[in-house]
Amino acid sequence: MANEREKENAAMAAIDFIEEGMTVGLGTGSTAKYFVELLAEEIADGLMVKGVPTSEDTRRLAESLGVPLLPIDHVDRIHLTVDGADEVDGEAQLIKGGGAALLREKIIANASDLMVVIADPSKQVDMLGQFPLPVEVTPFGYTITAKKVFDALKAAGVAKPRIDVRTSSGNKPVITDGGNYILDCHCSVIPNAPKAARLLSDVPGVVEHGLFIGMARTVIIGQDDGASVFEY
């Protein structure tokens, strides 16, 4: 189990990557929350940066802490994005989307000069798949899309995928910031994550999936007494 000190230390190490004048992508999730809070402290001390939030939750947090924000439509360059992960393997391949923000997270990460991932040791895995893979889909035809997602995962080598629609209270589908549904794909092991990513992207109705392949170049793993930084 993760502890809060590990998360906070990972976030603290990411602050070292921030420079004056940067536009910074602000991630979503419990570890990214620490980063936003620490960044707000630096801003209060005089650091001049602007943030681009990856979710409405992060936007509200950043605004409450006084972090200057830019609308994504007004951004011409994102120097750095700092975000968490639900799983990270030894090649910096990620599963993200546990907080249902994967679409915006991927758009902003892909537009960034550098993506820095911050995580606690519990997120490190030898092979992706133990954490359910989120796939964001359009509400229209989502049951058909779910069947095609199942087929894509089977074709990618997942032995026995199980697809569930993520629901909230009242057993209603969770609605993402983009107005879509989330399919949680229980895979156990994803033996070929790049292949799974390609096949999922080819499915009509799939808006985005939670496999982040070849995007993170720096991974910071927090520990009780500091953090380890890995470059890829």
Catalytic machinery residues: 105
Handedness of CA 154, 160, 164, 166 (dihedral sign): negative
- The token duo for 23 is 């536009």
> What is the C-alpha to C-alpha distance for residues 174 and 172, in angstroms, rounded to an integer?
6
CA–CA separation, 162 vs 154, rounded Å?
10
CA distance 88 to 216: 10
Structural tokens at position 22: 């940067």
> How far is residue 3's CA from residue 146's CA, in Å, rounded to a whole number?
35
Closest CA to 202 of 132, 155, 141, 140: 155
Rounded Cα–Cα distance for residues 59 and 57 (Å) = 5
Of 136, 120, 125, nearest to 189 by C-alpha is: 125
CB pairs under 8 A, 24+ apart, for 146-149?
146/183, 148/203, 148/204, 148/205, 148/206, 149/183, 149/185, 149/200, 149/203, 149/206
CA-based nearest residue to 158, from 149, 167, 166: 149
